[in-house]
Structure 1
Amino acid sequence: MSRFLRTTRSAVLAVVAAIAVVGAVAPASAAPPRAPSGPPARVVYDALGDSFASGYGVPPYSACGRSQGAYPVRLDGRQRVRLDDFVACAGATTTSLVAGGQLAALDADTDLVTLTIGGNDVGWSTAVVACLGGTDAQCSAALAVVTARITDELPARLDSVYGAVAAAAPDAHVVVAGYPRLFSPEHGAYLAASVDELRALNAAADTLATVVSAASDRSGFRYVDVRKRFDGHGANAPDPWILGPTDPAAFHPTADGYAAYAAAVTSALGPCRRS
């Protein structure tokens, strides 16, 4: 398989860290019920997760790479949703989400939780770097390791963190937003990665989606698949919604990408009601 653009390898390697994703019927004689007074109750919403939940990729940032372009911020005000605590943090894993205190945002008053987590647990960035800047053998080896972590280690980790979320917000509707595919192989090779290697990277993303969706189902959470919304908008597409390797937030969504996330989650929510 031919290789090209070897000089990009250093640029790709430089951004590894940046890569580092919801009566009884009254008798007929009874007076009609009164309409409630005042505005309808708001849905109390808390947002947890990693860099794909914090909006990393759309500066400026506050603590933990949080952006006003993030999908939780874009959800604020839609369908009576009020963003109460926005604690998603770039770099978070299933372990650090708990140890880092994100669960403190949740309580019995929380009506809605969104969560994107798991990508950092499996070393996803190592596969991206190996395939875009390394040899065929390095790409294959890195993909094998990442895929094994997704299938063998991640399910138990997700079960654990999802259980902690459910315990901390027992009455909340929890929505898990997944991760997009990063590339559009239909637009050809990209950097040092062949079309087949881009397809292999996307296949690993599909495996990740399957595992996260299954864990969400086991916990009774709603899984939101964003992959179709990103179709044709990978990092190598003419209209990319994924940032390329020269951006400090390489391989994270653009503003358009986070808008797609917000649209997907809003569509999944339907009309929101307090628990």
Structure 2
Amino acid sequence: MSRYVALGSSMAAGPGLRPRAANAPRLSGRSAINYPHVVAERLSYDLVDVTFSGATTAHVLSERQRGTPPQIDALDGSETLVTVTIGGNDVGYVPLLVAAGLPRWVRSVPVVGPTVRSRLDVAARDDALAVVGDSLTAVGAEVRRRAPAARVLFVDYLTLLPPKGIRANPLPEDACETARRIAATLARLTADAAAATGCEVVSAAAASREHHAWSPDPWTTRFGLPVPGRAAPLHPNAAGMRAVADLVVAWLT
């Protein structure tokens, strides 16, 4: 059976989507119906899913995350397929939107206020965007080195927000505009990293523009409080995971 390793953050892991993947660390948020599981089932691949909510490119390449080894260590050179969905946490994409959706008075609370304000710092987001391209390229190069016979697919992030001119209540429009710019830049840098390292890219971002969280047929969830048993806010829902799996399977076949 062909070996498939899935690397990435919560946008691939699927926090809140039940059932939870067998033997997955609870804090990983890894779902048994995330897109790697759906792809593996459809193509009869032997899946090794090490996606982990909150992961950054550093967690893929070199850093342990909550006691788990760097994700890249899952590769042994026998892979047929590797998928990579990463980069958003490096630049604070979803954390920016979460912070923006909180009541303004939270920014003055001594315990959490500094964290919230830092997530809303546009200059800090721009500084992170300036370096994430190199980090994504490093991920692509190392995956290619460790899995030389595999097809390596960067799968970028589903579109979360509606286009400019459509409100994403309760999120303020200035934060949404910053987040749209972050998302567009991240998609471009992901494609650039794939091209620079001999990998391929599946553009979930482009395919989902009409399926943002405020659309009639959303593939992602809106801002709100987490609800047990439901997809995490501002993350793929079950339909979104199936849609990304459709894109990956179509690309491969």
Normalised TM-score (structure 2): 0.79
**What amino acid sits opposite 1:129 in the alignment?**
V
Deviates more, 1:212-221 or 1:232-241: 232-241
2 CA distance for matches of 1:193 and 1:237? 17
1:235 lines up with 2:213 in the alignment: yes
Using a 3 Å threshold, how does the CA distance of structure 1 residues 132 and 170 change in structure 2: closer, same or farther? same
2 CA distance for matches of 1:67 and 1:189? 27
Equivalent residues of 2:153, 2:200 under 8 A apart: yes
1:56 lines up with 2:15 in the alignment: yes
1:247 lines up with 2:226 in the alignment: yes
Q: Report which of the two structures shows the higher radius of gyration computed on alpha carbons.
A: 1
Q: Which consecutive unaligned segments of at least 5 residues does structure 1 have?
A: 1-41, 271-275
2 CA distance for matches of 1:58 and 1:189? 23
- How many matched pairs? 224
Q: Which residue of 2 aligns with 1:69?
A: 33
Q: Which residue of 1 aligns with 2:98?
A: 129
Equivalent residues of 1:181, 1:234 under 8 A apart: yes
Q: Which residue of 1 aligns with 2:73?
A: 104
Using a 3 Å threshold, how does the CA distance of structure 1 residues 180 and 148 change in structure 2: closer, same or farther? farther
1:120 lines up with 2:89 in the alignment: yes
Normalised TM-score (structure 1): 0.73
Give RMSD over aligned pairs: 2.4
1:84 lines up with 2:43 in the alignment: no
**What amino acid sits opposite 1:184 in the alignment?**
P
1 CA distance for matches of 2:120 and 2:56? 23
Using a 3 Å threshold, how does the CA distance of structure 1 residues 175 and 123 change in structure 2: closer, same or farther? same
What do residues 69-98 of structure 1 show as CA deviations (whole Å, max 9, x unaligned)?
10010001434x413311111111111123
**What amino acid sits opposite 1:264 in the alignment?**
L
Q: Give 1:106 deviation, angstroms.
A: 1.2
Q: Which residue of 1 aligns with 2:66?
A: none
User: 1:138-153 counterparts in 2 under 5 A?
Assistant: 142-150=121-129, 152-153=130-131
Q: Give 1:253 deviation, angstroms.
A: 0.4
2 CA distance for matches of 1:113 and 1:129? 30
**What amino acid sits opposite 2:6 in the alignment?**
A
2 CA distance for matches of 1:252 and 1:67? 12
Q: Give 1:233 deviation, angstroms.
A: 2.4
Equivalent residues of 2:97, 2:171 under 8 A apart: no
Using a 3 Å threshold, how does the CA distance of structure 1 residues 225 and 143 change in structure 2: closer, same or farther? farther
Q: Give 1:125 deviation, angstroms.
A: 3.0
Q: Which consecutive unaligned segments of at least 5 residues does structure 2 have?
A: 64-68, 105-116
Using a 3 Å threshold, how does the CA distance of structure 1 residues 240 and 143 change in structure 2: closer, same or farther? farther
